[in-house]
């Protein structure tokens, strides 16, 4: 800043005492009368944002806005194949088709896609080996079971009835295990299915056989999947409801793009702490192991396996505001 207390030679004018700059602080005004005129000096007001600061901040804001568009596009280009890989890994299971994997120029994405394909192939191979092993065990057990059936025919009437029941139980368990393994490994046939018609036919057949089951009609729902597999799902749920709750009520509701089928019973309900375990293989709802009430322990496991293959979810809860259990199967609607 120009010092008005000195002349051009750097010396103070006669009669003027120089003022040191460090003596002045804050807002001040200096006035000098010379040659009949007043010379007034005021310091400029202090501002947090000077024009230079405002120009720099506006430039930085414009640069950020301009760079945010290519940055967002770059982030999307990086995250899109990762999201597709995550969805493919989530659907990678035995018996399910692997979704298309992204083909990216990135070496890391290509390696990750190859790892997901290898993982899916290992899962399919493992499930196929398990099915082959179970089929071989069932085949090998067929011969001794046939011999046992021959010897059972020679037993007295009372012993013959008990032995025949045990033999039938063994055959039923072997058949259920084979069906469970097959349902987990075989991909369902995808066709459009009128879910209401399927449930109506199932309930009508079971009612004609003397089973206590009723159907609550709802709006039309079209799903895509395997009609035979879905019929097995709801047959298992209705059979469980009748076995444990003496009566089954079947209905369904539609919410956005999903349909939820409910099977209610009038039994004692389920223990919330044991619900997750009931969907595991060979876990029975009746701890007594009684074949008349306990089944083989694979009904709910088959329900979950088939439902997941159709992109849905199976749950088991207690009925809200009443007694009994509620089995729910949620499936995506076909558009």
Q: pLDDT (tens digit, 0 to 9) for every residue of the chain, 335 residues total?
A: 444 444 445 555 565 555 555 555 567 778 888 888 888 877 766 666 778 888 899 999 999 999 999 999 888 887 888 887 887 777 666 556 677 777 767 788 888 888 888 887 887 777 777 777 777 777 777 778 888 888 888 888 878 888 888 888 778 777 777 776 666 555 556 789 999 999 999 999 999 988 999 999 888 899 998 888 899 899 999 998 998 888 999 999 998 889 999 999 988 888 888 877 887 766 666 554 455 555 566 778 888 888 888 888 999 998 887 678 999 999 999 87
Q: Which long-range contacts (CB under 8 A, 24 or more apart) does 262-267 make?
A: 262/326, 262/327, 262/328, 263/234, 263/237, 263/238, 263/326, 263/327, 263/328, 264/319, 264/324, 264/325, 264/326, 265/240, 265/241, 265/324, 265/325, 265/326, 266/323, 266/324, 267/241, 267/323, 267/324, 267/325
Global confidence as pTM: 0.57
- Verify that 230 and 319 share a domain, yes or no: yes
- Verify that 164 and 235 share a domain, yes or no: no
- Verify that 199 and 241 share a domain, yes or no: yes
Q: For residue 120, give every residue at least 6 positions away whose Cβ sits within 8 Å of its Cβ, in sequence order, or none.
A: 88, 92, 98
**What pLDDT shows up at residue 142?**
76
- Verify that 314 and 229 share a domain, yes or no: yes
Query: Among the three residues 139, 160, 183, which one is the final residue of a domain in this structure?
Result: 183
**What pLDDT shows up at residue 26?**
62
The sign one gets for the Cα dihedral 302, 303, 306, 309 is negative
Residue 133 covered by a domain: yes
Q: Hey, what are 20's tokens?
A: 């040191």
- Verify that 225 and 292 share a domain, yes or no: yes
Q: Hey, what are 326's tokens?
A: 């509620």
Query: Among the three residues 158, 183, 208, which one is the final residue of a domain in this structure?
Result: 183
**What pLDDT shows up at residue 125?**
78
- Verify that 251 and 160 share a domain, yes or no: no
Cα–Cα distance for residue pair 292/144, rounded to 1 Å: 25
Residue 242 covered by a domain: yes
**What pLDDT shows up at residue 320?**
82
- CATH number at 206 reads 3.30.565.10
Residue 17 covered by a domain: no
Query: Among the three residues 134, 161, 183, which one is the final residue of a domain in this structure?
Result: 183
Domain that holds residue 204: 189-332
- Verify that 298 and 250 share a domain, yes or no: yes
- Verify that 326 and 198 share a domain, yes or no: yes
Residue 6 covered by a domain: no
Residue 48 covered by a domain: no
- Verify that 202 and 290 share a domain, yes or no: yes
- Verify that 195 and 305 share a domain, yes or no: yes
In the chain, the number of structural domains is 2
Q: Is there a contact between 259 and 193 (Cβ–Cβ < 8 Å)? A: no
- Verify that 312 and 248 share a domain, yes or no: yes
Q: Hey, what are 55's tokens?
A: 């120009």
- Verify that 202 and 252 share a domain, yes or no: yes
Residue 62 covered by a domain: no
**What pLDDT shows up at residue 333?**
92
Residue 274 covered by a domain: yes
Residue 111 covered by a domain: yes
């Amino acid at each position: 800043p120009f010092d008005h207390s000195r002349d051009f030679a750097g010396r103070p004018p006669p009669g003027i005492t120089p003022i040191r700059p460090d003596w002045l602080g804050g807002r001040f005004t200096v006035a000098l009368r010379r040659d009949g005129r007043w010379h007034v000096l005021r310091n400029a007001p202090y501002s947090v944002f000077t024009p230079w600061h405002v120009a720099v901040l506006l430039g930085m804001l414009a640069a950020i806005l301009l760079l945010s568009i290519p940055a967002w596009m770059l982030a999307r280009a990086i995250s899109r194949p990762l999201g597709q890989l995550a969805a493919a890994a989530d659907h990678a299971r035995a018996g399910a088709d692997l979704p298309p994997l992204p083909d990216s120029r990135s070496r890391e994405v290509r390696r990750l896609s190859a790892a997901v394909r290898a993982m899916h192939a290992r899962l399919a191979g493992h499930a196929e080996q398990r099915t082959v092993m179970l089929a071989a065990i069932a085949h090998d057990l067929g011969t001794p079971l046939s011999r046992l059936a021959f010897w059972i025919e020679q037993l007295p009437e009372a012993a013959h009835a008990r032995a025949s029941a045990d033999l039938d139980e063994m055959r039923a368990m072997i058949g259920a295990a084979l069906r469970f393994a097959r349902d987990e490994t075989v991909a369902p046939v995808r066709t459009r299915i009128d879910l209401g018609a399927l449930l109506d036919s199932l309930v009508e057949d079971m009612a004609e056989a003397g089973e206590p089951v009723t159907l609550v009609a709802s709006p039309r729902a079209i799903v895509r999947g395997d009609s035979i597999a879905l019929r097995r799902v709801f047959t298992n749920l209705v059979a469980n409801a009748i076995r444990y709750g003496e009566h089954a009520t079947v209905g369904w509701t539609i919410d956005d793009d999903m349909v939820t089928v409910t099977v209610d019973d009038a039994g004692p309900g389920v223990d919330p702490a044991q619900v997750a375990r009931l969907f595991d293989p060979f876990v029975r709802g009746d701890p007594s192991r009684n074949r008349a009430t306990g089944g083989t322990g694979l009904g709910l496991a088959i329900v979950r396996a088939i439902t997941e293959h159709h992109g849905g979810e199976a749950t088991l809860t207690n009925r809200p505001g009443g007694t009994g259990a509620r089995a729910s199967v949620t499936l995506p609607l076909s558009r």
